[in-house]
Every structure is written in structure tokens, then in C-alpha cells.
Amino acid sequence: MIQGDRILKKSAEMLAAVFIIIALWHILAVFVKNQMLPTPWQAVSEFFGIFRSTLWMHFNASTSRVAVSLLLAAAIGVPAGLVTGREEILDRFLSPVIYLIYPIPKIVFLPIIFLFFGLGDFPKVFMISLIVTFQILVTARDAAKGIPAQNVYSMTSLGANRWHIYYHVIWPACLPKILTSLRISLGTAIAVLFFVESFATTEGLGYFIMDSWSRSEFSEMFAGIIGMSVLGLMLYILVDIIETRWCRWQNL
């Protein structure tokens, strides 16, 4: 019953947010009176009108790229961050490397990545994963380092080995912060997705938006923007579902 109330509350908040955004968008479009900014009704009508024919292909391509990128980033960043945060010798060696590499905007390496790996899906997925991995790794590392020592000692006194400590102490304690970093990384992943799809490709929401803009089809352009927003919303909801299932103690 409590869980159902939370879902209803979140749904109501989401609908209220959508209503506010649409209202502000409509007011601005009416005030500007420029074809470059269509009304919400025009953009939404365009979105549903071309989704089944053209936009679906681009939406599917972008979804595949960003989903694979996030899975790879999590698969690499989470264990690397947890181990680095708990193993002092490893942390002493890797932390300077992370501090030097992390501030560098990885997107500047995109031409080099295209040069080595071509213009297919792999370099795009690699670029997104490279950027997001560092965000998740740093968060997981800091979360692991912040676990009180007595939590580990209590498990050790019960005969737990290193694997048990990681599985029963480190992982549950760090999971909420890891999911928070994943939410933040979603915005980064969508932004990088738009950038890598805006050239050297013929499919994806980034390509669709830029192609519509170049043809001055602004309703189509905003339909693509709505598609990218829907993609981000779907991923955020997925992370919320994972948090609800894996971090149930937070909802007690």
C-alpha cells in the first residue's frame, strides 16, 4: 500500500512537471512568434506523426548506443572504484592517474577514436563509456573509502573473507551513491550521445536533430528533441526501479 502511494505521488509530480514545462513552452512560443520555436502541440504532433515511419529507427539506434555504453561503464567503473577505494596499495598507485586523467575532456579524443576504430557504432559507444566510466569510478571509490572501519571489523570477527566483505558490506553500503552517480551520468551520456551522433553517421537522434535543423524543419527538430528527452526519462525511471528493488531499506 505504501509503495503504491509512492508510485501515485511520483506519477502526479511527473504530470505536474510536464504540464508546467508545456505551459512555459507554449507561452514562450506565442511570445516569440517565430517558426524556429514551434508550439508544443506542433512538436508533439510531429513527434507522433513521424515516430513510426522515421523517428523510430533513430530512437532505436540511440537507445542501443547509450544503453550499451552505460552497461559497459558500470561493469568497469563500479568494481574498479570499489576495489580502488578499499585496497590502499592500489589506491596509492591509481589515484594520481585518475586525478590526472579525470579532468581532461575526453570528447577531444573523438577524432582519434574515429581514426583508429572507424565511423561505426563502436567508437560512439566507446566514447560515451570512456566519459561515464570515470564518473562512476570516482564516486564508487569515494563511497568505498567512506565506509566505517567497524563495519568491516564486525564482519571479519564473524569469519568473513574478503569476498564476503565486498558482497555483504562494501557493495550494499556504496550502492545508493553508485546509483546517484549513474543518474548524473545519464545526463552526461545523453549529451555525449548527441555530440557523437551529430556527424559521421546517418542514424540516431543526434543526426536526426541536426539534419532537421539544416533543412529548417524546426517541428521535426523539436520532435527529435522530445525523442531524446523520452529516452533520458526512460533511463531515469529504470534507475529508480533498480533503486527501489535493490535499496529497499531506504524506503522503510
140 touches 174 (CB < 8 A): yes
- The Cα–Cα gap between 185 and 180 comes to 9
How many Cβ atoms are within 10 Å of 172's Cβ, its own excluded? 13
pTM confidence score: 0.87
Alpha-carbon distance of 63 to 206, in angstroms, equals 12
Burial class (CB in 10 A: 0-12, 13-18, 19+), 191: middle
DSSP 109: G
Q: Domains, the chain, ranges and CATH?
A: 55-251 (1.10.3720.10)
Q: How many CB atoms lie within 10 A of CB 92?
A: 10
Write the pLDDT tens digit of every residue in 144-182.
998 888 888 888 887 878 888 898 889 999 999 999 999
Write the single-letter amino acid at 246: W
* Interval 199-246: pLDDT, tens: 778 889 999 999 999 998 898 999 999 999 999 999 998 998 888 888
Measure the CA–CA gap between 148 and 159, rounded to whole angstroms. 18
pLDDT above 70 for 19:
yes
Q: What pLDDT was estimated at residue 244? A: 84
Identify the pLDDT of residue 7.
65
pLDDT at 3 over 60: no
Contacts of 161 by beta carbon, 8 Å cutoff, 6+ apart: none
What's the CA gap between 248 and 25, in Å, rounded?
37
17 pLDDT tier (thresholds 50, 70, 90): confident
Helices (H), 198-246: 205-214, 218-246
Residues 6+ apart with CB under 8 A from 224: 55, 58, 205, 208, 209, 212
SS3 180: helix
- Of 25 and 3, the structure prediction assigns the larger pLDDT to 25
Between 61 and 247, residue with greater pLDDT:
61
